[in-house]
Structure 1
Amino acid sequence: MSAPAYPPLDTLVPHAGNMVLLDAVIEGDDEHIVCRRTVRADGLFEDAEGLPAWAGVELMAQAVAAWAGLQAQREGQPVRLGFLLGTRQYHCDVDGFAPGTELRVEAVRSFHDANGMGVFACRIDAPGGHAEARLNVFSPPDPDAFFAAIAGGPPHD
């Protein structure tokens, strides 16, 4: 039996071009997602030395965004904008990931409510390296009303 095909990452996340840092979804369901990224020597945050460990937080956040995009597509809804509110206890046991290294980026939903708040346990596994963190995220159910409210204007109908 073959593995299920998942949509391309650029259809799941509200990013474009070289801001899409993950390569593909390799596994996903209602509670978790696993994505892959092969480190390059010329990516947005990469150089000849590879990807610095601090960039792992953005990979984790994009995995969460991909999970949300996958859920939205399954429900026939558009992909929504989301925000990384904070990261708790980010730990990486290497300074960076070398070019050519394949990263396995996983996000598991710990909490999610109807108002758009969520918490995800995330990890990056690679040969010789591991990172983990808990991410607090927010995706407003009605982005137009949210932006109108923070701008001080009335929400749109």
Structure 2
Amino acid sequence: MPVFASLPPQYIDTLLECPITNTASLLPHSGRMVLIDRITRYGDDFVEAGAQVSPNHILLLDDKLPYTAFIELMAQAVGAYAGIQARKNARSVRLGFLLGTRKLEIFAQSVPIGTHLLATAHMSIQDAGGMGVFDCELRWTDAPETSSETLPSDGILARASLNVYSPEHPAGTTDAV
């Protein structure tokens, strides 16, 4: 039986109060691959996840976070949404897969160290079999003064629809928390 199933509902609610800073507990990632560091808001069909580009960020290239990392940040927001839904229903966090993207738009080549990011994911479609589509957006909310003029003035760094799949029991896994 999953550990969360034995907790009183009010305790689970307390663990999921925003801001949630223990994002690793919501994702099937570990260590430095957990790129989001807080959940600022969530609901039945959306999540907002924050991240700061730190000097030890695993995906830095020439002291900047390249645009190639933007999809992973949006995908981790989707993963956090799934993790929150699992925890609310006393289930284990499941492994998920990014199958593809549609309508991908990228508005910046990179962001500098010290930039604060906000990834949002809104569920468009999700079925009982684990397939889903999420409309996502990545924005910068604060940046070092010397670089903010090089970033898009409306704050949008990227947007896309992410096609995802989270199987009930991927090969070699169990439902233990």
Amino acid at match of 1:142: H
Q: If the length of structure 2 is used for normalisation, what is the TM-score?
A: 0.76
Q: 1:9 to 1:85 in 2, by over 3 A?
A: same
For residue 124 of structure 1, the aligned residue among 103, 113, 138 is: 138
Q: Which residue of 1 aligns with 2:77?
A: 63
Q: Which residue of 2 aligns with 1:133?
A: 160
Question: 5 Å matches for 1:91-106?
Answer: 91-106=105-120
Amino acid at match of 1:31: D
- In structure 2, stretches of 5+ residues that fail to align are 1-16, 142-150, 173-177
CA distance in 2 between counterparts of 1:139 and 1:112 reads: 10
Identity of aligned residues (%): 39
1:41, CA displacement in angstroms? 2.8
CA distance in 2 between counterparts of 1:4 and 1:60 reads: 19
Structure ranking higher on relative contact order (CA contacts 8 Å, 6+ apart): 2
Q: Which residue of 2 aligns with 1:77?
A: 91
- In structure 1, stretches of 5+ residues that fail to align are 149-157
Given that residues 85 and 137 in structure 1 are in contact (C-alpha distance below 8 angstroms), is that contact kept between their aligned partners in structure 2? yes
Q: If the length of structure 1 is used for normalisation, what is the TM-score?
A: 0.85
Question: 5 Å matches for 1:34-53?
Answer: 34-53=48-67
Q: Which residue of 1 aligns with 2:25?
A: 11
Taking only aligned residues, the RMSD between alpha carbons, in angstroms, comes to 1.6
Give 3-state SS (helix, strand or coil) of 2:29's partner: coil
Given that residues 19 and 41 in structure 2 are in contact (C-alpha distance below 8 angstroms), is that contact kept between their aligned partners in structure 1? no
Given that residues 40 and 47 in structure 1 are in contact (C-alpha distance below 8 angstroms), is that contact kept between their aligned partners in structure 2? no
